[in-house]
Structure 1
Amino acid sequence: MKTSFTPGSPHRARKRFGQNFLVDHGVIHRIASAIRPRPGETLVEIGPGQGALTEPLVASAETLHVIELDRDLVPWLRVRFDKYPGFTLHQADALKFDFAELGSADKPLRIVGNLPYNISTPLIFHLISFADKVQDMHFMLQKEVVKRLAACPGEKAFGRLSVMVQYYCRVEPLFDVPPGSFDPAPKVDSAIVRITPYRELPHTVGNIKTLEKLVTAAFGQRRKTLRNALKTLLDVTDMDDLPVDISKRAEQLTMAEFIALSDAIDERLKNSQNNAHD
């Protein structure tokens, strides 16, 4: 039976929400120092939980939006933070939230969150779709996810997440956070990462959908060469004279090579379609 919620009472972390509440004050201070909210900025915190990080953020930020899915936490957060004039709480699912409502290109958002491990990757992809309205993002993630985000070509962790996030953003791992910093303690190490969308993309692809398909296909069969992986995109007869050595594996390609290969594939797909109509 569900018990009634009394503001001030302890809230048990829920496994279905992937909740692990940050309780280490040293880590909280270090994260807040890395973010350094400034007057006039709009901050968004995803999954404030029990408000450990909300406290230092709302004290410094002129405007702070928090997005919390767990309805049982909402009354407690309101009691604690509604006294701040710039505080707004949204009881919502961040995976479906329209972040464009909160920010603009002229006043971009600074997004913060201790992200549940089970939704971290889809949530990051969702947030990247609003990259032109985001100044930066600071996330607590599983350490392995941070490694994948920041990985370079040739590294074991380099994959679809690395390529697609690094196409839009600069990724900076900041510091590790041990399991004992949380209640309950997770079974994995965590890390803080800063993700900063580029104002001007260092590489521009002709068709982003083709790049997404290429990256998905290439890393979907990591042990195979690109020649084998590309069979889902191109006819074998269209694989001659591509600008990249397709005897390589996906993790060996640089961002520039992925862009060049994507543009070449896109051109050949267009030619095939045109020939089919002739």
Structure 2
Amino acid sequence: MENLTISEVAKKYNFRFKKGLGQNFLIDDSVLDDVVDGAEVNEEDFVIEIGPGFGTLTRELLKRAKKVCAIELDEKLFPILEEELKDFNNFELIHNDALKVDFNELMGDEKSVKLVANLPYYLTTPIIVNLLTKGYDFKSLTIMIQKEVGVRIDSEPNCKAYGAFSILVQYYCDTKIIRLVPPTAFIPEPKVESIVIRLDRLKEPKVKVKDEALFFSIVRKSFNMRRKTLWNGLKDIGIDKENLLKCFERANIDPVRRGETLSLQEFALLSDEIGSAK
């Protein structure tokens, strides 16, 4: 495939792009290099790729990784990938929906697992949530996603983009934006800009909380209506108003603040106080 463009490969195999599967294939070599460099892929890494497309990114990963296991839902891509990547003996192709994969089973005894992918936009949030909350032991996630979502993931308190999803990702990972990617880097061109971001999985969550389920429930309630104060968002949390007010006082958080002003650490403090009062 090195001598063929994406359009030529599509024509060669009579392949038609499927909008329903979010198929936007990367054609910019500089972006490919930045993704692989940003992921810091090396010969010790077992790399999982979601949605390899025609294998342009896969090929670059195969040159550096110990092994690349690609998960693809569209069976029509299989003969293309198998033919175009036949010279690599460290390539494995799996037909499955990434949301249904048991990644622990896939990883086996591998010690250094990195996930690298140009994710379909419609799958971005559920895949990230699935990978983070199920405790899979990967080192990092380097993904190309819609710019808007990447900015949300990397945002800080008091930013418009900051929300429950920002907190969920930052609870489990350190985040680093690698680069922006214009629509012209893909075929077909998407209507929005993309971003490459790396999520480095932490050995322990960034904050320690007594009740993780309660912590995330409080975060969600605090952002359900962004104009609501914390007090209005949390008054149905399951304790009486007097005790709830005392929880705010002990956490040193003003109940008239809004959720988007609280740091991860402040949410953890408030969560632990409310948990103790229940």
Instruction: Please give the TM-score of this superposition, normalised by the length of structure 2.
Output: 0.90
More helix by share: 2
Does 1:260 pair with 2:269?
yes
Determine which of 8, 12, 21 is the counterpart of 2:16.
Answer: 12
CA-CA distance at 1:49 after TM superposition: 0.7
CA-CA distance at 1:43 after TM superposition: 0.5
Does 1:107 pair with 2:116?
no
Q: List runs of 5+ in structure 1 lacking aligned partners.
A: 1-5, 270-278
SS in structure 2 opposite 1:149?
Answer: helix
Determine which of 257, 262, 265 is the counterpart of 1:248.
Answer: 257
CA-CA distance at 1:50 after TM superposition: 1.1
Matching residue's letter, 2:220: T
Partner of 1:88: 92
Is the Cα–Cα contact under 8 Å of residues 104 and 136 in structure 2 kept in the other structure?
A: no
Q: 1:115 to 1:256 in 2, by over 3 A?
A: same
Partner of 2:32: 28
Q: Distance in 1 between matches of 2:233 and 2:109?
A: 38
Q: 1:179 to 1:39 in 2, by over 3 A?
A: same
Is the Cα–Cα contact under 8 Å of residues 8 and 76 in structure 1 kept in the other structure?
A: no
Q: Distance in 2 between matches of 1:232 and 1:13?
A: 48
The Cα RMSD (Å) is 1.8
SS in structure 1 opposite 2:76?
Answer: coil
Partner of 1:275: none
SS in structure 2 opposite 1:172?
Answer: strand
Partner of 1:134: 138
Q: Distance in 1 between matches of 2:276 and 2:15?
A: 55
What is the 5 A alignment of 1:184-199? 184-199=188-203
CA-CA distance at 1:263 after TM superposition: 1.1
Does 1:60 pair with 2:64?
yes
How many equivalent residue pairs? 264
Is the Cα–Cα contact under 8 Å of residues 224 and 249 in structure 1 kept in the other structure?
A: yes
Q: 1:9 to 1:132 in 2, by over 3 A?
A: closer
SS in structure 1 opposite 2:23?
Answer: coil
- Cα shift readout 1:84-118 (whole Å, capped 9, x = no counterpart): 22211111111121111133687141001111111
Instruction: Please give the TM-score of this superposition, normalised by the length of structure 1.
Output: 0.90
CA-CA distance at 1:200 after TM superposition: 3.1
Q: Distance in 1 between matches of 2:112 and 2:98?
A: 17
Is the Cα–Cα contact under 8 Å of residues 154 and 175 in structure 2 kept in the other structure?
A: yes
Q: Distance in 1 between matches of 2:257 and 2:200?
A: 30
Q: List runs of 5+ in structure 2 lacking aligned partners.
A: 1-9
| Ranges of 4+ aligned residues in structure 1 off by more than 3 Å | none
Partner of 1:274: none
Does 1:151 pair with 2:160?
no
CA-CA distance at 1:39 after TM superposition: 1.4
Q: Distance in 2 between matches of 1:229 and 1:19?
A: 39
